[in-house]
């Protein structure tokens, strides 16, 4: 995808800011996000796990060395055309013209953002980190997700099994409806603003 800069500098909305604010006040242990758009980070979230990967890092597929994506983006323009491919956009350019920066540690040229796709599963390490973060809370709050992906649904199941209440703010059905202690079917931004006020 062209335009990493656009994503990295994308503006979080009031929901992202509300969650970050509640976390800063100590009422939220962290956020497990299903997006890879960095918006929870950009809003100031501290403990954010991007379940389906992140665009904030680039990892070597051989030795595992990771560098910050911003650092990688600084290297890239010197090595090839002004192209920043990292996803699923059709690019009018011969890929053979593009020199990909190799790993600084082992020289391997297969470096990529650690994002899960349809073909790749979420690494066990990430699932474990998410489960640990969720386990620290006294309950859970699902905001706007249908929990269609099993990985996210499983975290709610874990909370339910542990006897911890799970609330959800979302209009319409979602996968874990039967497990919820309470469901609020109202506009998320309004509810989150109220939650921030309460705390
Ligand atoms: Zn390497």
What is the pLDDT at residue 98?
Answer: 60
Burial grade of 88 (CB within 10 A; 0-12, 13-18, 19 or more) = exposed
Q: Is 63 annotated as a binding residue?
A: yes
What average pLDDT values come out for the chain (199 residues) when binned by 10 residues?
Answer: 61 92 94 86 90 80 82 64 50 59 83 63 87 96 92 95 96 95 93 82
Q: What is the 14 CA–ligand 1 centroid distance (Å)?
A: 39
Residue spans per domain, the chain: 4-54+119-198, 57-112
Distance from chain centroid for Cα 61: 20
Contact 73, 101 (CB under 8 A): no
pTM check: above 0.95: no
User: What residue has token string 């929870």?
Assistant: 40
157 appears as a binding residue in the annotation: no
- DSSP assignment of 42-103, as one string? HTT-SSEEETTB-SSEEEETTT--EEEHHHHHHHGGGGSSS----SS---SS-GGGPPPPPP
Distance 110 CA to ligand 1 centre (A): 8
The DSSP-derived string for 129-176 is: HHHHHHHHSSSEEEES----SHHHHHHHHHHHHTT--EEEE-SS--TT
pLDDT on residue 1: 39
Is the separation of the CB atoms in 139 and 166 below 8 Å? yes
Angle at 53 between CA 50 and CA 55, to 5 degrees: 100
Active-site annotation, residues: 52
Place of tokens 């309950």: 139
Ligand 1 centroid, distance to 124 Cα (angstroms): 21
CATH architecture, range 4-54+119-198: 3-Layer(aba) Sandwich (3.40)
168 is in an annotated binding site: no
């Amino acid at each position: 995808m062209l335009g990493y800069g656009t994503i990295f500098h994308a503006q979080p909305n009031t929901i992202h800011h509300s969650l970050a604010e509640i976390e800063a006040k100590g009422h939220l242990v962290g956020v497990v996000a299903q997006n890879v758009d960095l918006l929870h980070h950009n809003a100031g979230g501290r403990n954010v796990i991007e379940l389906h990967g992140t665009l904030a890092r680039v990892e070597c597929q051989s030795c595992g060395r990771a560098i910050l994506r911003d650092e990688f983006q600084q290297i890239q323009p010197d090595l090839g055309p002004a192209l920043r491919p990292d996803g699923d956009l059709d690019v009018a350019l011969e890929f053979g013209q593009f020199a990909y920066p190799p790993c600084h540690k082992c020289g391997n040229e297969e470096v990529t953002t650690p994002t899960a796709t349809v073909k790749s599963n979420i690494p066990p390490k990430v699932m474990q980190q998410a489960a640990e973060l969720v386990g620290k809370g006294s309950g859970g709050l699902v905001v706007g997700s249908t929990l269609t992906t099993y990985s996210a649904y499983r975290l709610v199941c874990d909370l339910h099994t542990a006897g911890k209440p799970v609330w959800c703010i979302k209009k319409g059905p979602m996968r874990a409806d039967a497990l919820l202690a309470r469901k609020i079917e109202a506009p998320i931004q309004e509810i989150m603003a109220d939650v921030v006020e309460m705390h």
